[in-house]
């Protein structure tokens, strides 16, 4: 009897355990089935937050770079001036000043290079996050399109198609940004000739250098346009400032709080625009210098390819 009772007890225990596991599995399955949309929303929100943080970090570093660019431009201008003066004759004081300025300029350049590395890493992360967002948006577009095709409700169908258009625009924005950021990564690519490179390998690398040059030239064109527009705005603001000052002089003794406030605002706006203009000019000079270096590398690569091709051509002619 005891053996039978023990056997029945074990059987009941197994049935209870099996039932518990089944119900537990069913519960988890129910949650799993309901996850796609909520989990997808959570992932989308998480990716958007990551992107916001990355963009903020890049902007902070770029602002620091702009400040260093302004400082370095002052050193560069002074270095060029000192070199011109020293061409006329030796001067120990000017030579010492030139040495100090060159060292300071190199230190600033090293700092900017470190910042470039940080921006490079952040840009790679940005591209990765945006690619994930594009994939999520594609999934959402497919889901909404299926719902639109499946429904017979005109209003619901219209709403779903509107959502598809809105999400499509967001996706295209990310894709455009990915292309732009990929160009930035391409600019950071250091292209060199390896010992085992053949003529075709070298010419392929020349194409990469040309792509880099085209990106730089595009940046220069945009900077040219920005510089011209900023200069026009500065001149316009200065004219307005002079006009308000003339009015103030003609109405000497009369206090106009609004006019005085506007004059103060104009001074501030002009100062900010001049600071921005200084950065733009420094950036343009930097890109011009890099374009010159690239032109030299392209020529060098062509020469290296010719050196390899020439002996081969001579052997074929024999």
Predicted local distance difference test score (pLDDT) of residue 246: 85
> Of 164, 222, 216, nearest to 189 (Cα)?
216
Q: How far is CA 102 from the centre of its chain?
A: 30
Predicted local distance difference test score (pLDDT) of residue 9: 44
Tell me 129's DSSP state. Answer: H
Three-class SS of residue 89?
Answer: coil
The answer to whether 191 touches 210, Cβ cutoff 8 Å, is no
Q: What is the DSSP string of 25-87?
A: HHHHHHHHHTHHHHHHHHHHHHHHHHHHHHHHHHHHHHHHHHHHHHHHHHHHHHHHHHHHHHH
Q: Work out the pLDDT band at 304, boundaries 50, 70, 90.
A: confident
Contacts of 135 (CB under 8 A, 6+ apart): none
CA separation for the pair 263, 49 (Å, rounded): 41
Predicted local distance difference test score (pLDDT) of residue 250: 77
Q: What is the DSSP string of 155-169?
A: HHHHHHHHHHHHHHH
Q: Is the pLDDT assigned to residue 124 strictly greater than 90? A: yes
Record the pTM: 0.72
Predicted local distance difference test score (pLDDT) of residue 41: 62
The answer to whether 83 touches 140, Cβ cutoff 8 Å, is no
Sign of the torsion angle spanned by Cα atoms 180, 181, 182, 188: positive
CA separation for the pair 59, 67 (Å, rounded): 12
Q: Work out the pLDDT band at 316, boundaries 50, 70, 90.
A: very low
Which residue, chain included where needed, has tokens 């003066």? 85
Predicted local distance difference test score (pLDDT) of residue 174: 96
Predicted local distance difference test score (pLDDT) of residue 40: 59
How buried is residue 29: exposed, middle or buried, by Cβ count under 10 Å (0-12/13-18/19+)?
exposed
Residues 182-215 as b/e (b if ≥16 CB within 10 A, e otherwise) read: eebeebeeebeeeeebeeeebeebbeebeebbeb
What average pLDDT does this structure show over 281-300? 92
Q: Work out the pLDDT band at 15, boundaries 50, 70, 90.
A: very low
Q: Thinking of the domain 199-248+257-317, which architecture would CATH place it in?
A: Orthogonal Bundle (1.10)
Q: Is the pLDDT assigned to residue 36 strictly greater than 80? A: no
Domain ranges in the chain are 40-188, 199-248+257-317
The share of the chain scoring above pLDDT 70, in percent, equals 82
In total, the chain counts a number of residues equal to: 318
Task: List pLDDT tens digits, range 220-249.
Answer: 999 999 999 999 999 999 999 999 888 877
Q: Is the pLDDT assigned to residue 317 strictly greater than 50? A: no
The average confidence (pLDDT) of the chain is 84
Q: Work out the pLDDT band at 310, boundaries 50, 70, 90.
A: low
């Amino acid at each position: 009897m005891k053996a039978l009772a023990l056997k029945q007890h074990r059987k009941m225990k197994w049935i209870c355990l099996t039932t518990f596991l089944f119900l537990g599995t069913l519960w988890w399955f129910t949650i799993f089935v309901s996850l796609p949309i909520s989990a997808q929303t959570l992932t989308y929100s998480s990716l958007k937050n990551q992107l916001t943080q990355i963009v903020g970090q890049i902007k902070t570093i770029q602002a620091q770079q702009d400040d260093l660019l302004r400082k370095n431009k002052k050193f560069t201008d002074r270095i060029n001036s000192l070199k011109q003066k020293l061409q006329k004759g030796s001067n120990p004081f000017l030579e010492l000043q030139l040495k100090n300025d060159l060292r300071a300029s190199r230190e600033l350049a090293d700092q900017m290079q470190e910042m470039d590395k940080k921006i490079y890493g952040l840009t790679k992360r940005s591209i990765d996050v945006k690619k994930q967002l594009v994939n999520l948006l594609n999934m959402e577009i497919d889901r909404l399109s299926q719902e639109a095709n499946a429904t017979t409700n005109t209003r619901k169908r219209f709403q779903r198609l509107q959502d598809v258009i809105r999400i499509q625009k967001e996706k295209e924005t990310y894709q455009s940004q990915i292309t732009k950021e990929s160009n930035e990564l391409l600019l950071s690519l250091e292209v060199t000739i390896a010992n085992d490179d053949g003529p075709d390998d070298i010419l392929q690398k020349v194409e990469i250098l040309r792509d880099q040059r085209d990106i730089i030239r595009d940046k220069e064109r945009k900077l040219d346009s920005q510089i011209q527009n900023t200069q026009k705005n500065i001149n316009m603001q200065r004219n307005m400032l002079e006009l308000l000052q003339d009015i103030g002089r003609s109405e000497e003794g009369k206090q106009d709080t609004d006019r005085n406030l506007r004059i103060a605002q104009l001074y501030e706006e002009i100062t900010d625009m001049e600071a921005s203009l200084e950065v733009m000019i420094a950036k343009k000079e930097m890109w011009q210098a890099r374009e010159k270096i690239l032109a030299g590398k392209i020529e060098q690569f062509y020469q290296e390819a010719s050196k390899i091709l020439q002996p081969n051509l001579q052997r074929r002619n024999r």
